[in-house]
Copies of this chain bind each other. A is one copy, B any other.
Amino acid sequence: MSSVREIAKQVGVSAATVSRALRGHPDISSVTRRKIVSAANRVGYTGGRSGTSQVLVLGYVSTSSSPVLSLYDCMLLSGVRRALTGSGCEVQLIDLHRDKPGDETYSEFFTRRGVRGVVVQSDTGHRDLCRAISEEGFPCVVLAEEFDEPEISFVCCDARSEIAQMVDHLVQLGHERIGLAVPEHEDHDHVNRAEGYREGLRRHGLEPDASLVVRIPSSREGGGNAINELMSRREPPTAMFVTDPFPSIGALCRMHEVGLSVPGDLSLVGFDDGQMRRQVYPLLTAVCQPTEQLGLVAAQWLLRRVNGEADEPIRRVLPATFEVNQTTAVPPGRVVRIQPDGRPLGAV
């Protein structure tokens, strides 16, 4: 099984043609080539290591253009590795962005690396990449993006309802002016999070107020600036939701810096995809994405898929969680403002 001969028989060509197609030889009609590539993926062809007992290796494809692994990658990878515990299977990090030559199929690119299936950590800019890999029939599951195409496998997280629930929590504490800080560069997830915020407000008859929304760089600094910007408004919010981890930390630190008390002067809710909420003071109330779980669920499916045990694509949307910690409380009994540069208002 899983030899060029086997594939040749299925497609109705010679073993030589299969070999050429799989090796990326140019003189192959694109139609037979496509048939061969998808047959190879169907039977899980590994590139013929003679009788060698090859170990199953899965790939983790990061679409980032930098070799640096973010804490987010790290959590996803931990989930992937957890899924593989006991399977004897290993994971290889693949930097597609930098490495893939344009003239080979993704299947060949992965196979040359000994990789039998891939988990793709994608973003909005790489949806076509995910489509292309899936179209070749190479075992693939996308993390953190949702697709309409029924043949594309993905595991993502929808935090909308937990964000709405977070708004409930703030409203119940007495907040009516709830600020929002979202990244300038919006992707599907952030549109989603902003929607959850608006849904939550509407549920309580509160109209989203554009003057309470700021767009910021997705960095520590960006979160800090959101504090300066919102809290120097004539009518500042009494609570604020930041939709990304680093800006959440930045907002919290900036409050300390400018002398605003958390949660006394402003209730702060962050977004966490790791453990950041637990590494700051006070412990940050946050909507949390189950990042490791994303990797775990995706890799569990991929492992079954590669072993021929999963026929259907996986299309899973995991829920977020809302964790109340120490940065939310009742609104201040007075208007709390600062100057745009962070100095107290009294010093005008």
Name the B residues within 8 Å of A321 (CB-CB). Answer: none
Name the B residues within 8 Å of A70 (CB-CB). Answer: 74
Name the B residues within 8 Å of A113 (CB-CB). Answer: 55, 57, 90, 114
- Selected from B54, B114, B281, the residue in CB contact (under 8 A) with A256 is B281
Whether A174 sits at the interface, judged by CB under 8 Å, is no
Whether A134 sits at the interface, judged by CB under 8 Å, is no
CB within 8 Å for A57 and B114 given contacts A69-B78, A84-B67, A93-B93: yes
Tell whether, in the assembled complex, residue B53 and residue A82 are in contact, meaning their CB atoms are under 8 Å apart: no
What does the 1/0 interface line of A245-286 toward B look like (CB < 8 Å)? 000010011001100000000000000000010111110000
Closest-CB distance, A111 to chain B (whole angstroms): 9
Residues of A in contact with B (beta carbons under 8 Å apart): 23, 47-50, 52-55, 57, 67-71, 73-74, 77-78, 81-82, 84-86, 88, 90-95, 98-99, 112-114, 220, 249, 252-253, 256-257, 276, 278-282, 292
Tell whether, in the assembled complex, residue B81 and residue A67 are in contact, meaning their CB atoms are under 8 Å apart: yes
Name the B residues within 8 Å of A23 (CB-CB). Answer: 52
A49 to B49, CA, bound (A): 6
Tell whether, in the assembled complex, residue B249 and residue A279 are in contact, meaning their CB atoms are under 8 Å apart: yes
- Selected from B68, B91, B253, the residue in CB contact (under 8 A) with A281 is B253
What is the predominant secondary structure among interface residues of chain A facing chain B?
mixed
- Selected from B57, B256, B276, the residue in CB contact (under 8 A) with A279 is B276
Name the B residues within 8 Å of A281 (CB-CB). Answer: 252-253, 256-257, 280-281
Tell whether, in the assembled complex, residue B93 and residue A91 are in contact, meaning their CB atoms are under 8 Å apart: yes
Name the B residues within 8 Å of A114 (CB-CB). Answer: 54-55, 57, 113-114
CB closest chain-B residue, reference A274 = B71
CB closest chain-B residue, reference A92 = B92
A67-B85, A253-B281 given; name 7 further pairs at CB < 8 Å.
A52-B112, A85-B98, A90-B99, A91-B92, A256-B282, A276-B279, A281-B281
Please list 5 pairs of residues, one from A and one from B, whose beta carbons are closer than 8 Å in the complex, sorted by A's number: A23-B52, A57-B113, A91-B93, A93-B93, A257-B281
CB closest chain-B residue, reference A101 = B88
Tell whether, in the assembled complex, residue A71 and residue B74 are in contact, meaning their CB atoms are under 8 Å apart: yes
CB closest chain-B residue, reference A60 = B93
Closest-CB distance, A45 to chain B (whole angstroms): 12
Name the B residues within 8 Å of A92 (CB-CB). Answer: 57, 90-93
Tell whether, in the assembled complex, residue A67 and residue B78 are in contact, meaning their CB atoms are under 8 Å apart: yes
- Selected from B52, B84, B253, B282, the residue in CB contact (under 8 A) with A47 is B52
Tell whether, in the assembled complex, residue B88 and residue A78 are in contact, meaning their CB atoms are under 8 Å apart: no
Cβ-closest 7 pairs across A and B: A67-B81, A114-B114, A74-B74, A256-B281, A92-B92, A68-B78, A253-B281
Tell whether, in the assembled complex, residue B98 and residue A94 are in contact, meaning their CB atoms are under 8 Å apart: no
Closest-CB distance, A69 to chain B (whole angstroms): 5
Name the B residues within 8 Å of A54 (CB-CB). Answer: 112, 114
Tell whether, in the assembled complex, residue A93 and residue B69 are in contact, meaning their CB atoms are under 8 Å apart: no
A57 to B55, CA, bound (A): 14
